[in-house]
Amino acid sequence: MAAFCLAEALKESGCNQTVRVIDETSFHLDRNESYANMPAEKNLRGVLRSEVDRSVSKDSIIIVDSLNSIKGYRYELWCLARAAGIRYCVLYCDADETHCRKWNDERREKGEGAYSDKIFEDLIRRFETPDRRNRWDSPLFELWPHKEGIENTSAAIVDAISYLTKKADSKSRDVKTLQPTIATQNTRFSEANSLYELDRATQEVINAIVEAQSQALGGPLNGVSVGQGLPLINISRAVGLPELRRLRRTFIKLTGQTSLSGPPPPSDAENAKRMFVDYLNRELETA
């Protein structure tokens, strides 16, 4: 609700930046499954963080509509904003446990998405309240939905919009645009290059499969080559373009998630193709 009101109010304000909301719903993620255990929760945060990283720019305002309940995760989002050289703020819906429990029960009674009692208790226990003294929680704009409701004209939303859209100059001491460091700039350049190579290489693999199937005229394939020294793609059945595109999207998403806690995505086309071919051979064998 707060994210929706903020997005609508930003559009009504006449700001010339693109406004986008990134949330669990965007990826069709179930809230109970996403918070069922720590690996699932880590995966959820990874998916959202990767999408934010791809989307942040000086021409857009990104609203991350999620629990964002862990201060370490808010710090990660703050680092993304700093690396992009943009403004950052936190809009905090301050509601006590009693009202949160009531709203969750009401959603369950209406058949809407609600947390199970076990997960609700766990989230309440682990919640880390934003603190404006932390740079990753500042500036902090607070909403009190159980007292004032949430409207486009709520004071916190109006203040947040003013902060995000106010023209900054040498006299604007109350507006802070985060400045990237040399380290974050180099990291983002490296990640951007890796994502470009990954995107290009996987598309070339898809094109090779489509071309090979076209030449086979529906007959069997003994293996599709995508380059010298690379493994063959083993295809025992016809694989349509929609399925290939779905597999490609999933592979790119999984590779991006893995890079959050492990090695970065491949920075050259040959390694990217080898990884994608291995992935396709596993998936098509079990399909």
Cα pseudo-dihedral 140, 146, 149, 150, rounded to 10: 40
In angstroms, what CA-CA distances link 214 with 140, 210, 221, 224, 248?
57, 6, 11, 12, 19
pLDDT for the residue numbered 220: 63
Per-residue pLDDT of the chain (287 residues; tens, 9 = 90+): 899 999 999 999 988 899 999 999 888 888 899 999 988 998 899 889 889 988 999 999 999 999 999 999 999 999 889 888 999 999 999 999 999 999 999 999 999 989 999 999 999 999 999 999 999 999 999 999 988 889 999 999 999 999 999 887 656 567 888 887 655 554 544 555 567 778 888 999 999 888 888 887 766 677 888 888 888 888 878 888 889 999 988 888 887 665 444 455 566 778 888 888 988 988 887 55
Give the pairing type, strands 90-93 and 60-65.
unpaired
pLDDT for the residue numbered 269: 77
Positive or negative torsion for Cα 95, 98, 104, 109: negative
Q: Does domain 1-184 have CATH number 3.40.50.300?
A: yes
Round to whole Å and give the CA distance between 35 and 68: 12
pLDDT for the residue numbered 260: 47
Positive or negative torsion for Cα 21, 22, 27, 29: negative
Round to whole Å and give the CA distance between 195 and 267: 8
Q: How far apart are the first and last CA of the chain?
A: 40
pLDDT for the residue numbered 189: 44
**What residue spans in the chain does CATH classification 3.40.50.300 cover?**
1-184
